[in-house]
């Protein structure tokens, strides 16, 4: 099956934008692209659950199927909360958050911006003191499109950092070459 960007975009709009990776892909967009290419099934998204599978089956005009239990189970939406008294400020929870919902600095207490948290649970495994817990949000409002934008912003920021690092290393390499040539 050929890649259809417009179909992948329509599929991505139906996904919950948790970026949780439970589907086996690094985010909702790569999963949507895989579905559109026939490389992934529509039942691999636990956060989307039965409703998501139903919506995908309607879009793709295929029969719905049960959630693939190897990907996880459907659960009510929860957000990460840091037990501040237990946080040691190690910053290990910051990189795995797909939407930068965790705020903190090294050796400082961290906190989760609940309105931005997608409930992906990726931060849990990285906390060495298990001070991150999942709780039902005070305001049970989750904005998938905002989460999608936050994920895109984080990916753009990381790409820019990688480019800057590559440019810096290239300048250092050129400087070392000049220094070696000057010594010769």
Please list the rounded mean pLDDT of every run of 10 residues in the chain (184 residues).
Answer: 78 94 95 96 96 96 96 94 94 94 90 92 96 88 81 90 92 88 82
Q: Is the pTM of this model over 0.95?
A: no
pLDDT, position 18: 92
pLDDT, position 143: 81
pLDDT, position 45: 97
Closest CA to 18 of 125, 117, 103, 126: 117
Q: Which CATH superfamily does the domain covering 5-71 fall into?
A: Electron transport complex subunit B, putative Fe-S cluster (1.10.15.40)
User: Which long-range contacts (C-beta less than 8 Å, at least 24 apart) are formed by 88-96?
Assistant: 88/128, 88/129, 88/131, 90/127, 90/128, 90/129, 92/126, 92/127, 92/128, 93/123, 93/126, 93/127, 93/132, 95/126, 96/122, 96/123, 96/125, 96/126
Alpha helices in the chain (DSSP H): 5-14, 28-36, 49-60, 144-183
Same fold flag, 5-71 and 76-184: no
**Answer CATH for 76-184 from 3.40.50.10070, 3.40.50.10490, 3.30.70.20, 3.40.50.720:** 3.30.70.20
Q: Which distant-in-sequence residues (6+ apart) come within 8 Å of 62 by Cβ?
A: 42
Closest CA to 97 of 78, 72, 125: 125
| Separation between Cα atoms, residue 153 and residue 136, nearest integer Å | 26
pLDDT, position 15: 95
Domain boundaries, the chain: 5-71, 76-184
pLDDT, position 56: 97
């Amino acid at each position: 099956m050929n890649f259809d960007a417009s179909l992948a975009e329509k599929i991505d709009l139906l996904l919950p934008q948790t970026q949780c990776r439970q589907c086996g892909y690094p985010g909702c967009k790569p999963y949507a692209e895989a579905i559109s290419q026939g490389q992934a099934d529509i039942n691999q998204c636990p956060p989307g659950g039965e409703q998501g599978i139903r919506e995908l089956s309607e879009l793709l005009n295929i029969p719905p199927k049960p959630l693939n239990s190897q990907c996880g189970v459907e659960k009510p939406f929860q957000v990460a909360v840091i037990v501040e008294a237990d946080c040691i400020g190690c910053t290990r929870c910051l990189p795995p958050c797909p939407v930068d919902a965790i705020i903190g600095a090294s050796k400082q207490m961290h906190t989760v911006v609940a309105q931005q948290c997608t409930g992906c649970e990726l931060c849990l495994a990285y906390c060495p003191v298990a001070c991150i817990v999942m709780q039902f949000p005070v305001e049970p409002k989750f904005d998938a499109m905002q989460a999608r934008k936050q994920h895109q912003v984080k990916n753009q920021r990381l790409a820019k950092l990688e480019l800057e690092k590559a440019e810096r290393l290239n300048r250092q390499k050129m400087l070392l070459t000049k220094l070696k040539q000057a010594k010769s």
